[in-house]
Amino acid sequence: MRTIGLIGGMSFESSAVYYRQINEMVRDQLGGLSSAEVLMYSVNFAEIVALQKAGRWDDAAARLGDVAHRLQVAGAECVLICTNTMHLIAPEVAARISVPLIHIIDETAAALKAAGSVKPLLLATRYTMEHGFYAERMAESGVSVMVPGPEDRTVTHDIIFNELCAGIIKDESRRKLNAIIERAKADGADSVILGCTEICLILDPNALILPGFDTTTIHAQAAVDFALADEGVRSSCAA
């Protein structure tokens, strides 16, 4: 089994989901008391958020690049950035290591294409929805990403940072997100990307009015597939 390296803490709420899902997937595939070989470096999210707000993406890239390098030195044979937003600097992080960086956008695009979905709504942080890196990377795979309107982007961003990252789940916020999805469906969306690793805490991708793709689960499954490639066991991630 290969060792998985996780850059976590952004936020620790979703990092805990990664850790649980990865280990559950390994146990399901190998049976018994099997669990994953995992190294996690959990950063102080407050420091990363400050860099995001200041637009200091180069400093954020240097910080996470250093973390990725430390994980490789410690024995990680692949690295995951356990957040969608910080894939804005994924190329810089990947450049600091010689092991694979498993890219959340690429894995999600593959899951969308396998399901025949080509026009998904992206629910994510403002940075992910507005900076263009997500849509551009998806477009390389033939997927045309939709984003909510300005007001709905603000609502989604605030729910993520003010509630989900703090472990707060509100039914009212779930209703707001579902209403955003309904509007997107009316505008032609054929699916929904839960494009923030905390959104799975409030929305069940299998209980939406459109097919849902949870990036946390997709990313975790990709890590497990990599880790178990030499075990002769591989399973596909269901949307």
Angle (nearest 5°) at CA 9 between 5 and 10: 110
* Structure-token match 């009316």, residue found: 186
Active site residues: 83, 196
Q: Token pair for residue 63?
A: 């910080």
SS3 of 204, please? coil
Burial 208-236 (b: 16+ CB within 10 A, else e): bebbbbbbbbbbbbbbbbbbbeeeeeeee
Question: Residue 182 burial (CB < 10 Å; 0-12/13-18/19+)?
Answer: middle
* Structure-token match 């992080």, residue found: 93
d(CA 80, CA 68): 9
Question: Residue 172 burial (CB < 10 Å; 0-12/13-18/19+)?
Answer: exposed
Residue 231 · residue 1 · CB < 8 Å: yes
Residue 203 · residue 225 · CB < 8 Å: no
d(CA 225, CA 233): 8
